[in-house]
Amino acid sequence: MSLDLNDLLRDWPHEPGLIKVRRIMGTDGREKLQLRIDLGLIQMETAGRPDGLEPHARESLLAYHQERAKKAAKKSEPYVLSADDVSELQQEGIQYYQRYISFFQLSDYRGVIRDTQRNLDMFAFIGDHAQPEELAAAVLQFTPYVLMMQTRARASIELERDDFSVAARKIEEGLGKISAFFEKIENPEAAANSPELSFLGEWLDEVRGKQPLTKLEKMQREMDKAIATEAYERAAELRDQINAQLAKRKG
């Protein structure tokens, strides 16, 4: 068997600016993800740690540290992550980032949700156990991006079902979480310039624009049109119908 990667990649060229991902079946009988990069490819497992390793006989470094932290807590002892620990956890997080980006490209939104949540859990763990705080801040700064990607996945699942109202609600929830993060770190300037908030805000407007009108909204628009054209009798009828609908909701 040739060891030259060119033989493997000849029919799958790299294209700058495009994220190219494919699923393949490994020789071990398990499905893999392959992410094309300029100098070759990255191959990842679809479950567990992306590189397939089990550090300290655990699923991941995060799982290993979480287990140790729980043991320390039972003894009422502090658990502090060193700079090297944080660096290693961050490097592990990059693997999950590469995988959830690949899942998103394949429209595997549940995979995106799983791996983004895993990295959010890692951020929270580092925030709780890294000293000094500046060490944690260097990692936590990526929280808005990960929340945005998770929000995109959650909303995309609803859009596949043509449920625009639920999709809009998922985006609103994501916007709320990102805004809450900026409030927590007391950085209003970062919030004002956040590309994540800007993207999700624009997407929310787009989704709302595609959302089918409810019966009540249709009557409201028709009433507005009747008033604009001075069809006051029709406007009065519609007003009464709208009021009746609203009364039913309250009842």
Nearest of 204, 175, 168 to residue 191 by alpha carbon: 175
In the predicted structure, residue 212 carries a pLDDT above the cut 80: no
Determine the residue type at 155: A
What is the predicted pLDDT for the residue at 221? 85
For the whole model, what pTM was predicted? 0.83
Predicted confidence (pLDDT) per residue in 108-141, tens digit: 999 999 999 999 999 999 999 998 888 999 999 9
Distance CA 162, CA 154 (A): 13
Range scoring the smallest mean pLDDT among 1-10, 81-90, 130-139, 175-184: 1-10
The DSSP-derived string for 127-179 is: HHHBSSHHHHHHHHTTHHHHHHHHHHHHHHHHHHTT-HHHHHHHHHHHHHHHH
SS3 readout for 15-80:
CCCCCEEEEEECCCCCEEEEEEECCEEEEEECCCCCCCCCHHHCCCHHHHHHHHHHHHHHCCCCCC
Please state the domain extents for the chain.
Answer: 47-210, 215-250
